[in-house]
């Protein structure tokens, strides 16, 4: 025997009607496409900078300190004049600073994994690599900010680019493309290593030799022959030569081609490895 309380059916009907009012009418919207999802996560990275503006210290203060230190410590000894050395140094320091701050991409990815943010993102009906690509797009803003800061500060010190505004803009654009590709290395480390300190340590061991053993500070012709071999094949050296030529109005087509080729190889190799690691976690 079933006992039905008075008013039970009315309560159920009211609950169902209230649920229908809350739910959206019509067909279910389609999931966000790859580009839209990546841009959304890129905006998330921008909001992180907005709420934690300390993240911009490394892209503003660090390049300024590096420029002042090397210009006035070594300018007179290496070039005979700080003004002449500044013209040679500033494009190189711009590349050096941006390449160094790319390793914070891996640190950010590792932090999101440790906090469980990526586990939540993976449950969303979006293109799975969108979180990684969006993080790199957000960091592209930091690379641009660092480059612009360097140029403005160099102009204050007396730097005069022969390429004008277009040359400087082309140099910054090429540098951002190279840094975007270079960042895939650190995203892979961010997925492989277990802690933020490990990512920082391994990234520093890789990025410091690549930046200092290059043509950033001095002409490779003054180096020993065995060291010139490494410097001449170093992708950072090609990026420095390409940016330096564009900024000064003497484009080095071979260096530009080598930089774009290195960016394509880095993206193909480390980007593919990163996405596979991310999908297997």
pLDDT in tens, the chain (281 residues): 554 555 555 555 556 666 666 665 666 666 667 777 778 888 887 777 776 666 667 667 777 888 888 888 777 776 667 778 888 888 888 898 888 888 887 888 788 777 777 778 777 777 777 777 888 888 888 888 888 888 888 888 888 888 888 999 999 999 999 998 988 888 888 888 878 788 888 888 888 888 888 888 888 888 888 888 998 899 999 999 999 999 998 888 999 999 999 999 999 999 888 888 877 76
How far, in Å, CA of 194 to CA of 133, rounded? 21
Q: Is residue 7 part of a domain?
A: no
pTM for this prediction: 0.79
How high is the pLDDT of residue 79?
65
For the chain, the domain total comes to 1
Q: Is residue 60 part of a domain?
A: yes
- Residues 6+ positions from 42 with CB-CB distance below 8 Å: 133, 134, 135, 137, 138
How high is the pLDDT of residue 262?
92
How high is the pLDDT of residue 198?
83
Q: Is residue 3 part of a domain?
A: no
Q: Is residue 24 part of a domain?
A: no
Q: How many Å from the N-terminal Cα to the C-terminal Cα in the chain?
A: 54
Q: Is residue 156 part of a domain?
A: yes
List the helix and strand counts (H, then E) for the chain. 13, 0
How high is the pLDDT of residue 149?
85
How high is the pLDDT of residue 112?
78
How high is the pLDDT of residue 241?
92
The DSSP call for residue 53 is G
Q: Which domain holds residue 199?
A: 33-280
Helices (H), 80-163: 82-101, 103-114, 117-122, 130-157
Q: Is residue 27 part of a domain?
A: no
Q: Is residue 25 part of a domain?
A: no
Q: Is residue 14 part of a domain?
A: no
């Amino acid at each position: 025997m079933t006992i039905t309380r008075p008013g039970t059916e009315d309560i159920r009907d009211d609950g169902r009607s209230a649920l229908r009012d809350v739910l959206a009418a019509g067909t279910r919207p389609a999931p966000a496409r790859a580009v839209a999802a990546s841009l959304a996560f890129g905006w998330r990275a921008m909001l992180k900078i907005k709420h934690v503006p300390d993240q911009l210290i490394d892209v503003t203060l660090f390049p300024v300190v590096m420029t002042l230190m090397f210009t006035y410590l070594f300018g007179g000894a290496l070039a005979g004049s700080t003004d002449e050395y500044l013209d040679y140094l500033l494009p190189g320091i711009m590349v050096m600073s941006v390449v160094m701050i790319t390793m914070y991409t891996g640190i950010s990815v590792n932090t999101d994994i440790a906090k469980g943010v990526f586990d939540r993102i993976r449950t969303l009906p979006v293109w799975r690599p969108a979180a990684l690509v969006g993080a790199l797009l957000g960091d592209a803003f930091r690379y641009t900010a660092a480059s612009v800061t360097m140029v403005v500060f160099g102009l204050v010190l007396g730097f005069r680019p022969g390429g004008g505004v277009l040359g400087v803009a082309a140099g910054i654009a090429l540098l951002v493309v190279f840094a975007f590709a270079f960042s895939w290395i650190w995203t892979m480390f961010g997925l492989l290593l277990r802690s933020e300190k490990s990512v920082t340590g391994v990234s520093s061991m890789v990025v410091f030799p690549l930046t200092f053993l290059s043509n950033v500070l001095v002409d490779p012709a003054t180096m020993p022959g065995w060291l010139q071999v490494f410097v001449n094949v170093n992708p950072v050296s090609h990026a420095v030569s390409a940016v330096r030529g564009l900024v000064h109005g003497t484009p080095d087509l071979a260096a530009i081609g080598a930089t774009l080729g290195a960016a394509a190889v880095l993206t193909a190799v480390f980007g593919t490895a990163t996405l596979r690691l991310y999908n297997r976690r």
